Structure 1
Amino acid sequence: MKKLLLLFLLIYFSHNVTAQNIKISKRVIKDSIHLDFINPFYASMEMNLHPLDSTKSIIKVNTYGLLKYNDTLKNALVIPINKIEDTTKINVKSYIKFKANFGDPNSNIDKNYRYTLPYPKGKKYKIIQSFGGKFSHNKPHSKYAIDFGTKIGDTITAARGGIVFFVKEDSNEYCKSRKCIDKGNKVLILHNDGTMAHYVHLDFNGALVDFGDKVEVGQAIAISGMTGFTTKPHLHLVMYKSGGISIPFYFFTLKGKNVKN
């Protein structure tokens, strides 16, 4: 007999930028619970699962999956029913270590792409922290990030076209320590070469786009704010490849001159 139930799992990505929800399909087959993990995001996702030392002798784990949009990692976790206290409330983290990252490691990244500045034409902003900044741009997930000194209420535009695969706009909190790192509102956009743009520290209810929207370069996508780990209002812009690794990116000016920040 098989029973199917959709659940949700709260997971943290390895670069600790945000928490996401993946879908879980629960099947009861004979004397075991089979959990399938489903990627509901337009961006591909790498999943790495490993049993805890205390559970590896009693469960089965499908340790790796590279899932495109709506793909399923079958039998991600198989647990004997007699090892579960309440089959309606399964705490996955009690059985496995789970790590996931957006992005496909097989993507052919366009390293020559030149980005448009992420604000309307005619506007000018000071760069308050750039590549390798000592305050917070000093880790693999943030090394190649740029902070623009925008003010609360300023318009943010897409530096490159793509599809919106995540929006967070429910926070009005900030602080000057990393304990607020998950409080930052943001819009995440997938580009056609597999790279991903993160626009962070947006205003409460400040997204002008929604999940699944296709956006064009220069399109207004959000309102700048002061949320998350920050000491002042600004836009934090970073491009990622798979593995939660930030990558260098370059702008062009109206005069056609390349600008490296």
Structure 2
Amino acid sequence: MFTLLKQIQQTSDQLDATQAKIDSAEAKLLKTTSELESAEASRQSRDEQLRERIRLIYMNGSVSYLDVLLSSKSFSDFVGRFQSLQSIMEQDKEVLSQTESYKALVADKKAQVELDLASVKKLYSDMADKKAELQDQEKEKEVLVASINQKIEETEDISEEAEAALMEFGKKYSKLLEQKKALKTYYTGGKLGLPLKREYRLSSPFGYRTHPVTGQKNKLHTGLDMAVPEGTPVYAAESGTVIVAQSWSGYGNCIIINHGGGLWTLYGHLKPGGILVEKGETVKRGEKIGLVGMTGTATGYHLHFEVRKDGTPVNPAPYLK
């Protein structure tokens, strides 16, 4: 579990690092694209200057620089014309040079944009792979957590000491009620009513089993664990007298009903405030007595339901079918 969590953290860190690289690469791509646009604009400006110069030459015809100089009227006119021609030639040379330079710059920036774009695409591909890897790891974690929760759920054993003390408490109170002639026999045989009136998942059946963590064999699970949502109503399986209605160690909030003839039913792990009856109260079969919770030794919402015959746990399933 710890190894998997470490792998998930490493993958998550790699995703963060990849995202940082993507942010940097996109910023670089944006800058290079801006530089490309600027270079392209400069190239177009120089192209326009060059085209304008060619257009003037075409319109005015080909003029010999030598003819211009020889047609000078004086030496100072000659010098002026020479300097003008020299300036024109330098400008033409500069326009041509800059045109070629900007063409090369545009080509270079286009190549750089393509490289930056390829880098961003590669990083996004890497991120997609990492996300898929992280999703797989999360699914693996969910399966592992579910498995661990199932093991925990199966190890919600109530201590033998707590069980014995609870049974002794119930016997003493039942004997007191008998002496007061306040205890009647309601159960005369037949099937008990289901303590839940909705579908449930049997998370742990009655019977001996090998402890999934300690490996202890022949450990008796004394009832049925019926998994349902928190707050699901719990109903009396048979009419009887409530002999326990309180929190009791690993059972959590617990109700025990004495149905007479030595038959008891027990309802454990009720939610806080989920005991809806009082000790000594008479309840009818199918009457709502509590609400499902996970108090006591429990990690998930479920009803722990027991049937006791003369204080000894018996399989509830035959009584409910």
Calculate the TM-score normalised by the size of structure 2: 0.40
Q: Quick check: which one's helix share is greater? A: 2
* Larger Rg belongs to: 2
Higher RCO (C-alpha 8 Å, min separation 6) = 1
